[in-house]
Structure 1
Amino acid sequence: MLKSKKAEVIEQLTTSFANTTAVVICDYKGLTVSQLEELRKAARAKDTSVQVVKNTLATIALNNAEMSGVEIKDTNIFIWSDDVINAAKIAADFAKDHDKFVIKAGYLDKEPANVAKIEAFAKLPGRDELLGMLAATWMAPITNLAVGIDALRRKKEEEA
């Protein structure tokens, strides 16, 4: 790879990593191209990026983005997103289905994260699910009031 191309890749990755809240580093050794495309497709559906990057270039980009503390070695694929839970879920779900795909480490809110922390975030409900739960909680009193008024109306109609 030419030095100018390396600089371009580092600059693009630095920008991407600096503007993201989660980076998950995984080992993909032994996966087929079609399996990696399956991962990319799942990630694209949730506005998440997936890329295989040389370790030296990724290390430089992460350091430039003020993320350090995780040693990067062997074969790695990087998954990053603005939504911490999405990045963790994509990696954890794909790891469940593919034995050769292993979560190594990552960064959550620019802090180093181990596998246990990433898997814990993967178990949390997503943003849309949380908003739905919040809306249901807010709507519960109104719903109960409407059900009560309707029951009262039916009772009055039966009495009349």
Structure 2
Amino acid sequence: MPLTRSEKADVIDSIGERLDDHSIIYLTNFQGLSVAQTNELRGRFRAAGVEYQVCKNTLARIALDRIDGLDALDEYFAGPTAIAFSDDPAKPARVLKDFLEDEDIERPELKAAYIEGEIYEGHEALDQLSKLKSREELVGDIVGLLLSPAQTVVGSLTGPGSTLAGAIQSMADSDEEA
């Protein structure tokens, strides 16, 4: 049953809001997936915190036209298209890559990934994007780097020679050995 004009307007507004809210957008071709595979993929995206929506190309293009800077994606809305919206550039890529490996299939294929104003396309891009560290992993690495000098200083202060008497004793011991 075709959508009414008001239903189409609601879909356009919904897609537009998601496009505007997320700086990371993946477009996939899902043609050839069974219903069970499609449901499995949706579940994996949901578990990863990624919104995944199949949409009509015409309605998506209208939503794209309303947002500055996204018109470069217009050419990718041909054929069956689903959109994955995320705040983490690696999560959708990891879900897609894992799904392709687990199911041992060719689809869904990455049409394009729009990340912070840049467009990535093809299977090679999917491989590279899936290897990116998540925001949480990067923050953890930075915190670890910031804490490591502090841990070294604390270790030095709590080890032998941390008091004046201990330092004098260490120097005396080294003089006796020499």
Give TM-score, length-normalised by structure 2: 0.74
1:13 alignment partner, one of 15, 18, 36:
15
Flag the structure with larger Rg.
2
Write the distance in 2 (CA, Å) between the matches of 1:118 and 1:30.
19
Q: Is the CA contact 2:89–2:134 (under 8 Å) kept in the aligned structure 1?
A: no
Unaligned runs of 5+ in 1: none
More deviation, 1-10/118-127? 118-127
| Equivalence for 1:143 | 151
> Pairwise CA RMSD of aligned residues?
2.5
Give TM-score, length-normalised by structure 1: 0.81
SS at match of 2:72: coil
With over 3 angstroms needed to count, the CA separation of the structure-2 counterparts of 1:12 and 1:42, relative to structure 1, is same
Write the distance in 2 (CA, Å) between the matches of 1:45 and 1:111.
26
Q: Which structure has the higher relative contact order (CA within 8 Å, separation 6+)?
A: 1
| Count of residues in Structure 1 that have an aligned counterpart in Structure 2 | 156
Write the distance in 2 (CA, Å) between the matches of 1:10 and 1:87.
22
State the Cα distance separating 1:55 from its structure 2 match: 1.4
Write the distance in 2 (CA, Å) between the matches of 1:92 and 1:60.
30
| Equivalence for 1:76 | 81
State the Cα distance separating 1:150 from its structure 2 match: 4.5
Unaligned runs of 5+ in 2: 171-178
Give CA-to-partner distance per residue, 1:97-142, whole Å, 9 cap, x none.
3422211113222443323445433211101111111111011112
